[in-house]
Structure 1
Amino acid sequence: MEQQFDLAVVGAGVVGLAHALAAARLGKRVVVVDRDAQANGASVRNFGFVTVTGQARGEVWRRARRSAQVWNEVAGPAGIEVLQRGLTMVARRPEAKAVLEAFLDTEMAEGCAWRRAGDLADRLPGGGDVLGALTSDVDLRVESRTAIPRLAAWLEAFHDVTFLRGGAVRGVETGRLETTAGIVAADSIVVCPGDDLVTLFPEHFARAEVTRCKLQMLRLADPGWRLPAPVMSDLGLVRYLGYADLPQAEALRARLQAEQAEHLAHGVHLIVVQSADGSLVVGDSHHYAATPDPFARDDVDALILDEFARVFGQAPPPVLERWTGTYASARGHSLVEAPMPRVRLVTVTSGTGASTAFGLAEEVIAGLYDLPQQGAAA
C-alpha cells in the first residue's frame, strides 16, 4: 500500500533537512528522499561556520540570525557539539579598519565590538600583521561532516521523519514524486537539489542564470594553540555583502586590487576554524563554471596559505587534507519558486546554506501552509 506523507523533501543536505525540521515542528509527516547513501555534497564540504556577522543587510542577515538560533536549539538534542562561538574579523589595513568601524555603526553590529591588536591575545595566537579586529558573539561553528548526519538521525528518531536514501527522483508533480525506488505520495513537495541544476526544473535554473561555484579547502595539523572563534581577514570584507556594500569598502577593494590582485582573481579569502582534535579547516577560493573541473590547484592553495601566514604571523602547519566543493551560485541569496501547485523549488545560491537555511526554510514552509511569516514554534 502506498504511504502518504504531508510533505516530501527532495535532498538531504542542510537546506532539505531545514525544511524537514520546519515542517516536522508543525506536526507534519515528512519524508526526505536523497539519491546518496550519506551526506556527500556542499553541506559536508564546508567550514560548518554559521556566519551571522557580515551577511547581506536585511532579510539575509535576519535569516542568518534565526538560523543561528535554531542551530543552538537543536545542537544539544541532536548530539552536535558547538566547537567555536563568535567571530574574529581582523583588519590588516587602515581601509579594513574603516570598513569595520562603519559596520559597527549599523544595526547588524549587535553583539560586536572592536578590539585593538594588543587586546587580541586570547583571540588570535601569533604575531600577525593586524591593526585590530571586530569580534562578535553571535556566530557559531559545528563540524559539518558529523553535524549533518547527526541532524538527520535526530530528525528520524525524535521527529519521525522518514528517510529514503539511494533513490533518485526522476519526476515531480503535485502530490507525487517518481523515484527510481517507486512512487512517493505527499500533499506538498519541496525540492532542494543543491547544485544539481539539470535533473529537476532545469528551466527555472536557466532563467535565473544559476551556475556553479567550485571552492578549494584544506585541513591543517594542530598548530598547538586554540581558537575560541573562527578567524577571517581583509579579503572577506569585500566578499561578504554586509561589509562589502558599505561605501567604505571601495577604498579597501582598490588597495586589495593593488596589493593582492591574484587573491581577488581566484576569489580567495580567509576563514580559519578549529576542530575538536585541534586541526584547522582553512579556505577558500571561488571559481565559476556550469561544470567546474574537479582539480585543486596548488597555486590557489598557496594563496590561501599566504593569507594565513600574514594573519597569524607564522608558517602554516602541515596540510593533512585537501578537497574541493561545489555549490549553486547566482545573483541574490536564493532561488525560491513554485513550479506547480503545492510544490516549491528551493536552492541557496550564495554559499550560505549552513548559515541561513533554517531561517529560509521556516519562511518557505510558512508560505506553503499559509502561516504567518515567522519562525515555526519549537
Structure 2
Amino acid sequence: MTGTRQAHHPDHFDLLVVGAGIVGLAHAYTAAQRGLKVCVVERDAACIGASIRNFGFITITGQAPGDTWRRAMHAREVWQQIAPYAGIDIVHRHLWLAAYRPEAHDVLEAFMRTPMGEACELLDAADAQAKAPALSLADAQSVLFSPHELRVESRTAIGLLANWLAEVHGVTFRFGESVLEVAAPRVRTSRGTLHAERVAVCTNTDLHGLFAERIAAHELTLCRLQMLRVKPEAGFRLPGSVMMDLSLVRYEGYSTLPEAAALRARLQREEAASLAHGIHLIVVQSADGSLVVGDSHHYGDAPEPFAMEEVDQLILRHLRSTLNLETAQITERWTGVYPSSKTTPCVIDAPDDATRVVLVTSGSGASTGFGIAHDVFNAW
C-alpha cells in the first residue's frame, strides 16, 4: 500500500474494509497505524452481530498451539494498549479453570508441560479456594490460573473502538451501506461507487454474498450459541474469568493433548447432554456485577434463531456447581452466530492481489482479530 492518504479524493482510499465487526475494525486499526487512509463500510446502522454478542473474553490460555496462540498473545497486547485511549474499560483479568475430575487434572498437568503453560500456575484446590473464594472447589482436584486473559464489555467496546478510530485515526465509517461488488480499485455499494487500492472483506456470517464461490470452497457452516446474563447476590465478585472441565475437551490447546481422551470418555458418560449441545462453561463479570454465562454450540447452514430452555438449564447447572452463588436470576438471554470450519480457525483468502477475504471460523475474533490483521498486512 502506498499510504498516500489521497487527501484530494474523499471517495478514494488506501484500504476499504467491508464489515465493522471486530475483525474489520482490527484491519482498520492496523492499516491506520501504518499511515493509510481507511474506510469501513458496514451494511447495518451499527455493529449488531457476533462481535457484541460474546463474552468480551480475550482468551489466550487453551487456544490452539502455533499461529492461533501467537495471534491471541498479540491481540491481548493491542487490547491493553488501545483500551485506555479508546475509553474501553478492562473489566477484569486472569483465568481460573477448575478441574473437578482426576482426568481433567491430568490434562492440566500435561498443558503445564507445554510452552503455552509458561507463566501459568497449577494450584491445589485449597490454595485456589483461599485465593478465589467465589469458586466452589470442595470437590475440585486442582485449578489452572492464567495471568494472560482480560475482559472487555463487548457490547460497548466495539462502538467505542469504532468512534476512536474515526476521531483519532481519521478512519471513515459508512454505516447502513451494503457493498454489492468488489473489483478493486472499484467498490460498488448501495449508495454509489468508492475506490480503494486494496479491500479487506470481513463479513463474518455472510457466506453467500461477496466472493461466495471462493468462500464455498472452504466448506464453512454456521454455529449458533446461547448465552445468559445472570444477576448474583449483591457483593458477589469473580476473581477473573472462570471455566471448568468441559472447556478442556473444546479448546484445542487442551483437547489435542493425549490426556484429553480419557476426560472426553468420562464426560461422554456423565455429561452426554452437555456435550451434545456443545456446552462448555465460561463465566465473566460486568462492571454492574452481573455475570455473562454460556455457552452452547449448534451447527448448520441456517441454524434456527430460537434458544432452547434445556440448554439454558444445563448452563445454569454448571454455573451453580462451579461458583459459590446464593442466587442466579436470569436478566437477559440471547443467541449469536459465527462461521465455523472443521479444519481452520480462520480463512485468509486472496481473490486477487488487491483483495483479502478474512473470516474467523472459530468464534475467537475478539481474541485473535488483531493478531490476524497483523499477519495479513505483514504478508500483503
2:253 to 239, 242, 266: 242
Does residue 106 of structure 1 match 2:114? Answer: yes
Q: Which of 173, 185, 196 is the equivalent residue of 2:206?
A: 196
Is it true that 1:175 corresponds to 2:185 in the alignment?
yes
CA–CA separation in structure 1 for the residues paired with 2:304 and 2:323: 31
Residue 345 (structure 2) aligned to one of 316, 325, 333: 333
Partner of 1:36: 44
The answer for the alignment partner of 2:288 in structure 1 is: 277
In the alignment, what sits opposite 1:298?
309
CA contact (8 A) 1:33 1:167 kept: yes
Within the candidate set 222, 230, 234, 1:220 is matched to 230
Q: Once the two structures are superposed, what CA deviation does each residue of 1:202-247 show, in whole Å capped at 9, x if it has no partner?
A: 1122111101000000000033311121000000000000000100
Matched, 1:127 2:139: no
In 1, are the aligned partners of 2:307 and 2:334 still within 8 Å (CA)? yes
Instruction: State how far apart, in whole Å, the 2-side matches of 1:313 and 1:33 are.
Output: 45
Among 138, 145, 157, the alignment partner of 2:155 is: 145
Query: CA separation in 1, counterparts of 2:252 and 2:70?
Result: 14
Deviation at 1:39, TM superposition (A): 1.3
Structure 1 counterpart of 2:40, one-letter code: V
Asked whether the equivalents of residues 270 and 307 of structure 1 are also in contact (C-alpha less than 8 Å), the reply is yes
| Aligned residues with identical type, % of pairs | 52
Provide the C-alpha distance between the structure 2 equivalents of 1:18 and 1:310, rounded to a whole number of angstroms: 37
Matches within 5 A, 1:10-49: 10-49=18-57
| CA distance in 1 between partners of 2:351 and 2:13 (Å) | 20
**2:232–2:326 Cα contact (<8 Å) kept:** no
In 2, the alpha carbon distance for the partners of 1:316 and 1:217 equals 18
Note if contact 1:305-1:316 (Cα within 8 Å) is conserved in structure 2: no
CA contact (8 A) 1:188 1:343 kept: yes
TM-aligned CA deviation for residue 130 of structure 1 = 1.8
1:61 to 65, 69, 72: 69
Q: Could you say which residue in structure 1 is the equivalent of 2:80?
A: 72
Q: Distance in 2 between matches of 1:251 and 1:217?
A: 28
**Pairing partner for 1:323 from 334, 348, 351:** 334
Q: 1:289-348: per-residue Cα shift (whole Å, max 9, x none)?
A: 111101000001111111112212546511000000000001211011011220000000
Partners of 2:366 and 2:157 lie apart in 1 by: 10
Letter matched to residue 362 of structure 1: H
SS in 1 for 2:74: helix
SS of corresponding position for 2:61: coil
Task: Give the Cα–Cα distance (whole angstroms) in 1 for the partners of residues 46 and 189 of structure 2.
Answer: 17
Shift of 1:126: 4.8
Q: What is the alpha-carbon distance in structure 2 between the residues aligned to residue 221 and residue 315 of structure 1?
A: 10
Conserved? CA contact 1:209–1:330, under 8 Å: yes
- Of 157, 171, 174 in structure 2, the residue corresponding to residue 164 of structure 1 is 174
- In the TM superposition, residue 171 of structure 1 has moved relative to its aligned partner by 0.6
Provide the rounded CA distance (Å) in 2 between the counterparts of 1:184 and 1:119: 59
**Could you tell me how far apart the structure 1 residues matched to 2:133 and 2:147 are?**
15
> What is the alpha-carbon distance in structure 1 between the residues aligned to residue 10 and residue 228 of structure 2?
45
Q: Is the 8 Å Cα contact of residues 176 and 186 (structure 1) preserved in structure 2?
A: yes
User: Could you tell me which amino acid in structure 1 is paired with residue 350 of structure 2?
Assistant: A
Residue of structure 1 in register with 2:362 after alignment: 350
Q: TM-score, normalised by structure 2?
A: 0.95
SS at match of 2:207: coil
Q: Cα distance, 1:132 vs. partner?
A: 2.0
| 1:6 to 1:274, Cα distance in 2 relative to 1, 3 A | same
Match of 2:196 among 154, 175, 186: 186
CA separation in 2, counterparts of 1:183 and 1:94? Answer: 61
The answer to whether the Cα contact below 8 Å between 2:204 and 2:360 also exists between their aligned partners in 1 is yes
Displacement, 1:2?
5.9
Does structure 1 conserve the Cα–Cα contact (< 8 Å) formed by 2:184 and 2:195?
A: no
1:261-290 residue CA offsets vs partner (Å, 9 max, x unmatched): 110000000000000000000000000011
- C-alpha distance in 1 between matches for 2:142 and 2:114: 19
Q: Distance in 2 between matches of 1:199 and 1:315?
A: 48
Q: Which residue type is aligned with residue 222 of structure 2?
A: R
Q: Residues 222 and 277 of structure 1 are in contact (CA less than 8 Å); yes or no, is this contact kept in structure 2?
A: no
Deviations 1:73-114 (A, max 9, x none): 100110101011110011010000000011001100122001
Aligned residue in 2 for 1:373 = none
Q: Is the 8 A contact 2:93 2:149 kept in 1?
A: yes
Match of 1:51 in 2: 59
Letter in 1 for 2:140: V
* TM-score, L = length of structure 1: 0.95
Q: Measure the CA separation in 2 of the matches of 1:87 and 1:126.
A: 12
Partner of 1:286: 297
Residue matched to 1:374: none
Report the secondary structure of 2:350's partner residue: strand
2:110/2:257 contact within 8 Å kept: yes
* 1:231 and 2:239 are equivalent in the alignment: no
Matched, 1:266 2:277: yes
Distance 1:272 1:345 in 2: 32
Q: Is contact 1:173-1:340 (8 Å) kept? A: no
